[in-house]
Structure 1
Amino acid sequence: MSASEGAPKPPEPSGVDLARVALRAAKEAARARGEATQQRKQARRGGGLRSGARADGRDPMALGSAINRLITERGWETPAAVGGVMGRWPQIVGEDLARKCVPERYDEDERVLHVRCDSTAWATNLRLLAPQLVARLNEDLGHGTVQLLKVHGPSGSVRRYGPLRAHGSTGPGDTYG
């Protein structure tokens, strides 16, 4: 007698068991097909909602995605990055300096950041710190984004009338530089 003859045979699956096995296999195959179809649809529509039967440019998208797309399409990457630096100005230059000196604008063509200080003493101090500040800004924004830091003193109001007003003068020149 061989080993295979002496061991009891497992019972043959009955019709109900075969049906359960076939149903389980069919469900798993359908689930896999459904997941694959869902992933293709998701990829086609870019992960968002759709406006109709076919994907097109009118489909809604997340606000962040829309803003990033607009910035890229218009070529505003550098001005947007510099705008972010202006928002983080106190972290970049320090609280003391940020209270006295404020970035006003960025000229992208000349790569110049204009900074206004509230006194000539702070303007002089910032002019001395300009090379280190430009280096720190370029670390944050990318090499060569800011080539020059143009420091402006306080802007005084223009005196148009008064008894001590000389024709053609712009105000006291010794404190506004």
Structure 2
Amino acid sequence: MADDEQMRDPAAAAFANLADLAGSTVDPSWLRRTTQKSHQTDQPRRRRRWSGAGPSVRDPRPVGTIFGELARTQGWAGDLQRGRVLSQWSSIVGDQLASKAQATSLVDGELEVRTESTAWATQLRSMNRVLLTRIEELVGPGVVRRIVIKGPAAPSWKHGRRSVRGRGPRDTYG
């Protein structure tokens, strides 16, 4: 059988002669190339036709699937999940709560939420576990590990470059 192949393929015959001269024990038919498939169709290269009725590489795919694969291969999946928390905050917590509290940042699994008043900050602190499970359900596990809830920022009494250190506004009221 091997002699029959060598007669049809002169390159295989020449390789077999070289292998015999070198004293190699490699079977030349074992090193034969396989037919390469085209990247456009799932068929061998020499047969370039349409892809047929079966599934093919050229079949159209949904855009969401393509972008999902791109995000996974480029390592963007985690960034997209973190962005979903901030962009979909109102759908995660509801419209009423979103009008009183805004998610401001998400760094290293720590979500910072700024509230309109201290009363809303206290209310959100008591709902911390519920918010974490809701975020985990809608966005995915491990995206948010901790929620830091901050009330409104207090006014600064330090004005100008030449302000004096001290107790602040309490010093001025006798």
Write out per-residue CA displacement over residues 13-47 of structure 1, whole angstroms, 9 at most, x where no aligned residue.
Answer: xxxxxxxxxxxxxxxxxxxx74327999x726x86
The 5-angstrom pairing of residues 27-38 of structure 1 reads 34-36=49-51
Q: Which residue number corresponds to residue 88 of structure 2?
A: 88
The 5-angstrom pairing of residues 124-143 of structure 1 reads 124-143=122-141
* Aligned partner letter, 1:35: W
Runs of 4+ in 1 over 4 A off after TM superposition: 37-40, 62-70, 168-172
Q: Indicate the SS of the match to 2:112.
A: strand
Q: Indicate the SS of the match to 1:114.
A: strand
The 5-angstrom pairing of residues 87-126 of structure 1 reads 87-108=87-108, 111-126=109-124
User: How far is 1:94 from its partner?
Assistant: 1.4
Q: Distance in 2 between matches of 1:77 and 1:170?
A: 47
User: How far is 1:137 from its partner?
Assistant: 0.7
- For residues 74 and 35 of structure 1, do their structure 2 counterparts lie closer, same or farther at Cα, with a shift above 3 Å needed? closer
Write out per-residue CA displacement over residues 94-128 of structure 1, whole angstroms, 9 at most, x where no aligned residue.
Answer: 111100101111123xx221111111111111000
The 5-angstrom pairing of residues 1-177 of structure 1 reads 34-36=49-51, 43=57, 68=68, 71-108=71-108, 111-161=109-159, 167=165
Give TM-score, length-normalised by structure 2: 0.53
The RMSD of aligned alpha carbons is 3.6
Structure 2 runs not aligned, ≥5 long: 1-47
Q: How many pairs does the alignment contain? A: 121
Q: Distance in 1 between matches of 2:168 and 2:126?
A: 27
Contact 1:158–1:170 (CA under 8 A) maintained in structure 2 = no
Give TM-score, length-normalised by structure 1: 0.52
Q: Indicate the SS of the match to 1:161.
A: coil
Q: Distance in 2 between matches of 1:83 and 1:47?
A: 28
Contact 1:79–1:106 (CA under 8 A) maintained in structure 2 = no
Q: Percentage identity across aligned positions?
A: 30
Q: Indicate the SS of the match to 1:149.
A: strand
Q: Indicate the SS of the match to 1:43.
A: coil
Q: Indicate the SS of the match to 1:145.
A: coil
Q: Indicate the SS of the match to 1:167.
A: coil
Please identify, of 70-79 and 148-157, the stretch whose mean Cα deviation from structure 2 is larger: 70-79
Q: Distance in 2 between matches of 1:154 and 1:170?
A: 19
Q: Indicate the SS of the match to 2:131.
A: helix
